């Protein structure tokens, strides 16, 4: 188990996950709250159907009604990651660089401007950039609580070394911009943490913000 401190959050990276998400989420939250994991109850909250057995994870102290801190979780390629931070929202994702490129789904993941920028890159640099765009978008989708009910092409990401800015259309969650922090689980598996704010939404979301959705004829449903 590795602890990563990033963007004001505590991340716990498990390289041999055997159980579900609740234990790792409680452990990450316990480090933010100064409580024992056993004092915490992990549930979920689906912004679509209201169910508490799937959707965005939540943590509260046993017998208390309100959430304690924001948490997020992802598992992929033999790793699980849980993130916790004071505040109302965050999102985390982790993916294999090779797996993202193998899927060949640029048309459904990327904004036309992001696809154009990828064309200027080659080989490993292109694969790495594509994976960075993807983990950032999925982390943002979790931050909003909408998940992949958002059209992720409408999440605009501008990568800047080990960080990125992201912005998305109004109607998804309480925020419209995020700062994204990248981390490496291994040379081949990268992750992203998205926390609210940081994005210069006006610059990232120009008047063509809905171009991707309009081009596909698809309209995203706000979460």
Ligand X SMILES: CC(C)(COP(=O)(O)OP(=O)(O)OC[C@H]1O[C@@H](n2cnc3c(N)ncnc32)[C@H](O)[C@@H]1OP(=O)(O)O)[C@@H](O)C(=O)NCCC(=O)NCCS
Whether 50 and 160 have beta carbons less than 8 Å apart is answered as: no
Stretch that binds ligand X, among 26-34, 50-58, 112-120, 211-219 (CB under 6 A): 50-58
Pick the closer one to ligand X by CB: 148 or 214: 148
Return the residue of 4, 27, 33, 57 that touches ligand X, per CB under 6 A. Answer: 57
Is residue 153 close enough to count as binding ligand X by CB under 6 A? no
Nearest alpha-carbon partner for 28 in 66, 69, 84: 84
Q: With respect to ligand X, which residue has the nearer C-beta, 147 or 177?
A: 147
Integer Cα distance of 110 and 130 in angstroms: 9
Q: Does 49 bind ligand X (CB under 6 A)?
A: yes
Q: Are 223 and 46 in contact (CB under 8 A)?
A: no
**Residue 103 to residue 97: CA distance in whole angstroms:** 10
Structure tokens belonging to residue 8: 């004001």
Q: Report the site for ligand X in 90-149 (rule: CB under 6 A).
A: 93, 138, 141-142, 145, 147-149
Among the listed residues 35, 41, 46, 99, the single contact to ligand X using CB under 6 A: 46
**Contact flag: residue 191 with ligand X (CB under 6 A):** no
**The Cα angle at residue 103 between residues 102 and 109, in degrees rounded to 5:** 130
Contact residues toward ligand X (CB under 6 A) are 20-21, 46, 48-49, 54-57, 72-76, 93, 138, 141-142, 145, 147-149
């Amino acid at each position: 188990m590795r602890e990563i401190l990033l963007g004001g959050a505590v991340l716990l990276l498990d390289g041999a996950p055997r159980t579900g998400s609740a234990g790792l989420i409680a452990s990450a939250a316990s480090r933010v709250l100064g409580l024992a994991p056993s004092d915490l109850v992990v549930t979920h909250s689906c912004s679509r159907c209201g169910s508490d057995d799937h959707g965005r994870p939540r943590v509260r102290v046993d017998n208390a009604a309100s959430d304690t801190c924001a948490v997020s979780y992802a598992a992929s390629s033999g790793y699980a990651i849980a993130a916790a931070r004071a505040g109302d929202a965050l999102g985390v994702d982790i993916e294999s660089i090779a797996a993202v490129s193998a899927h060949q789904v640029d048309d459904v993941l990327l904004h036309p401007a992001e696809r154009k920028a990828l064309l200027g890159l080659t080989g490993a640099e292109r694969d790495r950039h594509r994976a960075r765009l993807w983990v950032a978008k999925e982390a943002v989708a979790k931050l909003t609580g909408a998940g992949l009910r958002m059209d992720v092409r409408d999440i605009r990401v501008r990568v800047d070394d080990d960080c990125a800015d992201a912005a998305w259309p109004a109607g998804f969650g309480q925020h419209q911009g995020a700062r994204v922090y990248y981390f490496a689980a291994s040379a081949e598996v990268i992750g992203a943490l998205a926390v609210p704010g940081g994005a210069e939404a006006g610059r990232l979301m120009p008047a063509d913000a809905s171009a991707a959705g309009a081009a596909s004829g698809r309209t995203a449903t706000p979460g």
